[in-house]
Chain A
């Protein structure tokens, strides 16, 4: 699947992804995890990956397992989510909770491993799911 770095493209891609997963025998739990990880990471790429206003293509590929593997490639700024510190304190009381910063926390919780490589001006992230 290929999409441009535009919010409306992400919306359309998510609906396409959901429809694809429904046609397979993917469990509701795994299907949800794949959509969530895809949305959170592509949202970050669109928001923070580029300084220019140009169109950039983001590629995503799913190999249904077990284990299921999602690969995402983009030509944005080098960004390695595997080295980012855990920013969310899920036990903090509501008054202290920050709005935002949750996406990567959800990605970590939904995957068993995350592998990053920067090659030929591309970020390549490989995510492995429990099923």
Chain B
């Protein structure tokens, strides 16, 4: 499993492992797609354990964000400074909700 999931306050929190790269992105993509197919509409990606993301991982985030954009909610939290920089230079920080900690992300995604 490349993502561990937990349900908190109606939000599915999905935590990638240490790296979301060309090696791990396909499985993460499949897991998120399965969650959405299973009816999840609010997904928060928690980077608490993640050190590294590449464009392969960014594509997974963009796809999920597009899918949930109109029908639900999608956000990121706990990005380390390097991941945050990649989100900034790719422009993702302006098109996705990036929260500080898990609590902040959960609060934002549960509020109506």
Contacts and interface: CB of A to CB of B under 8 A. Distances in A.
Given A11-B22, A14-B21, A28-B82, A99 B91 contact: no
B92 to A, nearest CB: 8
A17 B103 CA distance: 34
A120 interface: no
Given A94-B95, A99-B63, A32 B22 contact: no
Interface in A60-109: 88-95, 97, 99-100, 102-103, 105-106, 109
Interface residues of B, number: 25
A103 B62 contact: no
Contacts of B63: 99
B103 to A, nearest CB: 25
A90 B22 CA distance: 21
Nearest to B56: A43
B22 A43 contact: yes
Contacts of A40: 54-55
Contact of B90 (A14, A18, A93, A106): A106
5 smallest CB-CB distances across A and B, nearest first, come from A90-B91, A11-B23, A94-B95, A102-B55, A32-B82
22 contacts: A7-B22, A7-B23, A18-B19, A36-B86, A39-B56, A40-B54, A43-B22, A43-B55, A43-B56, A90-B89, A90-B91, A94-B65, A94-B95, A97-B62, A97-B66, A97-B95, A99-B62, A105-B89, A106-B54, A106-B89, A106-B90, A109-B89
